Amino acid sequence: MRNIKDDSRTDKDLILLYRQKGELSVLGELYQRYMELVYGVCLKYFKEPERAKDSVMMIFEELVTKLKKHEVENFKSWLYQLAKNHCLMQLRTPKNLKTVEINASFMQSEENVHLNGVLEKEDNLVKLEYCLGKLEEEQRKTIQLFYLEGKCYNEIADITGLDWNKVRSFIQNGRRNLKICMEKEKAGDQ
């Protein structure tokens, strides 16, 4: 092998020669110029010298095919990106994902979770019904029309004969009073 430092061929010259002849020695000569860069990138990502060295070799193997497929204007920056992508892909592989074993006794069955949700909803509906009964008549009526029957402020004003601003006020106050009542009921359960 001749002395690489005396070689006056540019990266583009070596890429062209490699594409024409497919000689690994030409690719090796080109890669040798940037092996320290590739190693540095790999070491930055893996933090393990041995793994970084292995990746330097794997990246060379990728170059064998990729350099024939891609038009490369600036080999150094293209190789840097190739090395970076290689490292990121290695870090994303399933063998690098950490898993934790979960004790089955900590798990709830789907049926229990569903049943708990149904019971909680039923309990909340009972509390809501109780708290609705605690509201003043106008607040209860406007809340029922707005939330349960889906009526707008104008429709509620027409149905009840109340002023639009009164409807808005009863709904806002009723909602606040319902919330306070529901929170008291929830606190009483605990």
**Which of the four CATH numbers 3.20.10.10, 1.10.1740.10, 3.40.50.1970, 1.10.3720.10 does domain 4-96 have?**
1.10.1740.10
pTM for the full predicted model: 0.48
Q: How far apart are CA 176 and CA 103, in angstroms?
A: 43
pLDDT at 56: 96
- List the one residue out of 96, 90, 78 whose CA is nearest residue 34: 78
What residue spans define the domains of the chain? 4-96, 112-189
C-alpha–C-alpha distance, residues 22 and 63, integer Å: 12
CA 33 to centroid of chain Cα atoms: 39
User: How far is 147 from 8, CA to CA, in rounded Å?
Assistant: 82
Q: What is the mean pLDDT of residues 11-35?
A: 93
In tens, the pLDDT along 150-161 reads 889 999 999 999
Cβ-based neighbours of 39, under 8 Å, separated by 6 or more: 52, 53, 56
The whole-number average pLDDT for the span 23-44 is 95
How far is it, in rounded angstroms, from Cα 145 to Cα 30? Answer: 79
pLDDT interval class at 2 (50, 70, 90):
very low
| Each residue's pLDDT tens digit, 88-143 | 999 887 765 555 666 665 555 555 555 666 677 777 778 888 888 899 999 999 98
Q: Is CATH 1.10.3720.10 the classification given to domain 112-189?
A: no
Residue with the bigger pLDDT between 95 and 55: it is 55
